[in-house]
């Protein structure tokens, strides 16, 4: 059993999680658009400043094309200037981050996913993969991999992935596919291997790689997934479809709404939390001036 705990920054939620999320695991938050998932994610990321000495990373996979106001929320709630990461490291280039680069905790490196919802396409010869997006993805990795690597080397141990949209078949969703790729090949890749892939030629930058090792098994990831369901009852009863990352996640949190008298209440519950005690409470919350406030 994993004993290390990662506090979310919301004391009541941490208590419901038996002391917090388990370090190094994946947690998925399901809820409709506007329910407060981004507030929860930013609270979790900001908590890293106190807990680990470095804020978490925000990776935006927004497929809608509209802003989710991450920077506005971060500034208002935490006085955090959420700067975007733009540094690119190409093979054989100087890999070192720019001055102040590790203070840039936001990345939106996949702006084209909104136009490529499904990574499979019909062809005259039948159903086969359409790899037209693959070149854009490979180019984006020159920005994405150093974004994670240099921040992890500087102490960040939290990742928030936001903007995942609902899909009839999660197994066909390009967002789920890309997240799974990033999680296995970048976020949870050992530091030495990831460093060597970025810092080529290896012999030239070996000292840098060796002096910036970190334990990838301590990086905790929060994936925020938008659902078509809005009511908490429907979210609790939601079936896990093929390709849905909730099936493999360690923890699942649902955020929904229900009518209570003449008002609409926002409610939160933990439906899965492997390796730990968890509360069966359904707790009401509101989004106030300081973010999410649980009753």
Question: Would the pLDDT of 119 be above 50?
Answer: yes
Please give the Cα distance from 59 to 162 (Å, whole number).
6
Residue burial 208-245, b: 16+ Cβ < 10 Å; e: rest: ebeebebebeebbbbbbbbbebbebeebbebeeeeebb
Express each pLDDT in 236-271 by its tens digit.
998 888 788 888 999 999 999 999 889 999 999 999
Rounded Cα–Cα distance for residues 156 and 220 (Å): 10
Phi, psi angle pair for 292, to nearest 5°: -80, 130
Residue 167 pLDDT grade (very low, low, confident, very high; cuts 50, 70, 90)? confident
Radius of gyration (Cα) for the chain, nearest Å?
19
Look at residue 124 and tell me whether its pLDDT is greater than 60.
no
pTM as predicted: 0.93
**Over 90: is that where the pLDDT of 104 sits?**
yes
pLDDT the model gives residue 130? 52
Helix (H) or strand (E) holding 282: strand 282-288
- Helix crossing, 134-153 with 174-182: angle to 10°? 40
Q: What is the pLDDT of residue 94?
A: 81
Sequence ranges of the domains in the chain = 26-254
- Express each pLDDT in 132-144 by its tens digit: 678 888 899 999 9
The angle formed by the CA atoms of residues 223, 31 and 244, to the nearest 5 degrees, is 55
């Amino acid at each position: 059993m994993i004993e290390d705990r990662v506090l979310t920054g919301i004391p009541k939620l941490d208590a419901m999680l038996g002391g917090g999320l388990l370090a190094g695991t994946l947690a998925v938050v399901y809820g409709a658009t506007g329910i407060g998932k981004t507030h929860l994610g930013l609270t979790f990321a900001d908590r890293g400043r106190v807990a680990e000495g470095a804020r978490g990373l925000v990776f935006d996979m927004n497929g809608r094309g509209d802003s989710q106001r991450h920077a506005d929320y971060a500034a208002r709630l935490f006085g955090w200037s959420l700067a975007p990461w733009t540094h690119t490291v190409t093979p054989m280039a100087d890999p070192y981050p720019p001055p102040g680069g590790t203070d840039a905790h936001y990345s939106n490196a996949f702006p084209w996913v909104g136009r490529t919802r499904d990574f499979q396409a019909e062809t005259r010869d039948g159903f086969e993969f359409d790899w037209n997006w693959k070149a854009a993805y490979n180019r984006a990795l020159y920005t994405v991999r150093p974004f994670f690597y240099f921040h992890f080397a500087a102490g960040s141990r939290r990742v928030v992935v936001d903007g995942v949209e609902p899909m009839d078949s999660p197994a066909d969703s390009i967002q789920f596919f890309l997240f799974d790729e990033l999680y296995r090949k970048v976020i949870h890749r050992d530091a030495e291997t990831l460093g060597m892939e970025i810092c080529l030629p290896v012999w030239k930058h070996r000292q840098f790689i060796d002096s910036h090792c970190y334990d990838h098994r301590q990086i905790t990831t929060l994936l925020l997934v938008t659902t078509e369901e809005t009511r908490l009852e429907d979210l609790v009863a939601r079936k896990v479809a093929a390709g849905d990352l909730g099936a493999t996640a360690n923890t699942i949190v649902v955020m929904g709404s229900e009518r209570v008298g003449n008002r609409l209440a926002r409610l939160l519950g933990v439906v899965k939390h492997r390796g730990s005690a968890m509360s069966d409470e359904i707790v009401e919350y509101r989004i106030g001036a300081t973010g999410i406030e649980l009753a």
